[in-house]
């Protein structure tokens, strides 16, 4: 476990910066899907398989997984232990399925974000966390700080994807 028993009364500058960067990336992602119908959130207006609703679900699932990892590094499995069913389930995180709504996906994302934000205040940023075995990890461990920076980077990258999809969908741009 990489958290202390009590949150600091006042967050230091580094933790404030991490929260500010997370908030900014999340804002741009959420802004991109404003005023969409569920049907629009499911559309694929580009050559990519990505949809706006699917991106919201994926970012929430990814952030949840990394937050779980901060609390318990064994929660993230080695790539070679994943089954076909695991991979099929992962793919569902990239689509807003029939019966799912964009509003529900955004509400889930908000809950995930609130949990992560609380962890930023308590996690030992210097804690070394052993990464699962996967071809995309060149290191064997990351600091909790790096895990949080990875969440920021993932969110910002997908906010960019969302902006391209939204502009292709109806011409709206997040910026510009």
Q: How confident is the model at residue 1 (pLDDT cuts 50, 70, 90)?
A: very low
Place of tokens 């990875």: 150
The C-alpha atoms of residue 29 and residue 60 are separated, in whole angstroms, by 11
pLDDT tens per residue, range 3-61: 444 455 589 999 999 999 999 999 999 999 999 999 999 999 999 889 999 999 999 99
CA angle 115, 164, 34 (to 5 degrees): 55
pLDDT tens per residue, range 60-92: 999 999 999 999 999 998 888 888 998 888 888
> Which tokens in the block code for residue 6?
């009590």
pTM of the model: 0.90
Helical packing angle, 102-122 and 13-32, nearest 10°: 170
């Amino acid at each position: 476990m990489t958290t202390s028993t009590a949150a600091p009364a006042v967050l230091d500058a580094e933790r404030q910066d991490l929260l500010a960067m997370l908030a900014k990336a999340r804002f741009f992602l959420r802004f991109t899907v404003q005023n969409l119908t569920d049907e629009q959130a499911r559309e694929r207006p580009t050559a990519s398989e990505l949809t706006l609703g699917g991106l919201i679900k994926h970012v929430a699932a990814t952030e949840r997984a990394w937050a779980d990892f901060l609390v318990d590094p064994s929660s993230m499995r080695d790539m070679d232990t994943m089954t076909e069913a695991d991979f099929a389930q992962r793919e569902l995180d990239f689509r807003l399925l029939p019966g799912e709504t964009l509003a529900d996906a955004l509400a889930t994302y908000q809950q995930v974000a609130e949990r992560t934000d609380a962890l930023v205040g308590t996690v030992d940023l210097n804690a070394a966390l052993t990464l699962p075995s996967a071809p995309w990890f060149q290191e064997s461990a990351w600091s909790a700080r790096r895990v949080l920076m990875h969440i920021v980077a993932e969110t910002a990258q997908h906010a960019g994807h969302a902006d391209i999809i939204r502009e292709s969908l109806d011409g709206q741009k997040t910026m510009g």
